Amino acid sequence: MTEQETRRMRRARFEGLAQVVVEPLHRYLVRRASAETAEDVLSETMLVLWRRIDEVPGLGPGSGTEPRPDPDEVLPWCYGVARGCLANARRADGRRLRLVERLIRSQEQAPAWPADHSELHAALDALGALDREVVRLWAWEGLAPRQIAEATGLSANAVSIRLHRAKARLADRLGRKDAEPTGHKRDEGRSGQ
């Protein structure tokens, strides 16, 4: 059997399945979600059915010429797929809603007038690109030197040295007598062997 014949038979099997399951799955989804969500989830469900056509019980391997599948054999499994797709869509909607709520809360808590950090940005810009990235990963992302090493491909020792030197240059450039960074512990990133 050629690849083209295999694709044709697969497509025929899917089209036969779709003729049997699209309407019942649509009704199932409309009873559980908004019309718009039901349409999206039905599309996702059909995509999963296409990808897993060989796993649909009651469909058989097929030659592309068999009669339409029996709804009683294929629908229960297809309902399970639709149920899973609907659960995924609901989780995604929940994540989006929580993100929007967090963004709204952070906007409400933001100061009315943003602080002027032009000196800091100028001092950062004076560093080399790799040193600037190491400092940003440490200060803004809260990564320890070993984590920065993993992100940048440097050794943990090289990161520690770069970070120490970059912080000293920043402190000097910003005119600070005390180069002690705020918000970080002195032993941060060291393993407690």
More confident residue, 190 or 121: 121
Q: Where are the CATH 1.10.1740.10 domain residues in the chain?
A: 3-109
Nearest-angstrom CA–CA distance, 98 and 14: 37
Residues contacting 128, CB < 8 A, separation 6+: none
Q: Among residues of the chain, what percentage have pLDDT more than 90? A: 56
For residue 27, the model assigns a pLDDT of: 95
Averaged pLDDT, 23-52: 96
Give, as one character, the DSSP assignment of residue 141.
S
Summarised one tens digit per residue, pLDDT across range 109-162 is 756 666 677 888 888 889 998 998 899 889 888 889 989 998 888 999 999 999
189, 150 contact by CB (below 8 A): no
Q: Where are the CATH 1.10.10.10 domain residues in the chain?
A: 113-193
For residue 121, the model assigns a pLDDT of: 85
What DSSP assignment string belongs to 92-138? HHHHHHHHHHHHHHHHHHS-SS----HHHHHHHHHS-HHHHHHHHHH
Nearest-angstrom CA–CA distance, 33 and 109: 34
More confident residue, 5 or 61: 5
37, 89 contact by CB (below 8 A): yes
Task: Fold for 3-109, please state it.
Answer: Rna Polymerase Sigma Factor; Chain: A (1.10.1740)
Q: Which CATH number fits domain 113-193: 1.20.140.10, 3.30.1330.40, 1.10.10.10, 1.10.40.30?
A: 1.10.10.10
Least trusted range by pLDDT, from 28-37, 61-70, 79-88, 165-174: 61-70
Q: Does the pLDDT at position 93 exceed 50?
A: yes
Gyration radius from the chain CA atoms = 29
For residue 188, the model assigns a pLDDT of: 54
More confident residue, 150 or 21: 21
Model confidence band, residue 192 (pLDDT cutoffs 50, 70, 90)? very low
Q: Does the pLDDT at position 186 exceed 70?
A: no
Nearest-angstrom CA–CA distance, 163 and 137: 10
Summarised one tens digit per residue, pLDDT across range 38-86 is 999 999 999 999 999 999 988 866 555 566 889 999 999 999 999 999 9
For residue 116, the model assigns a pLDDT of: 74
For residue 105, the model assigns a pLDDT of: 85
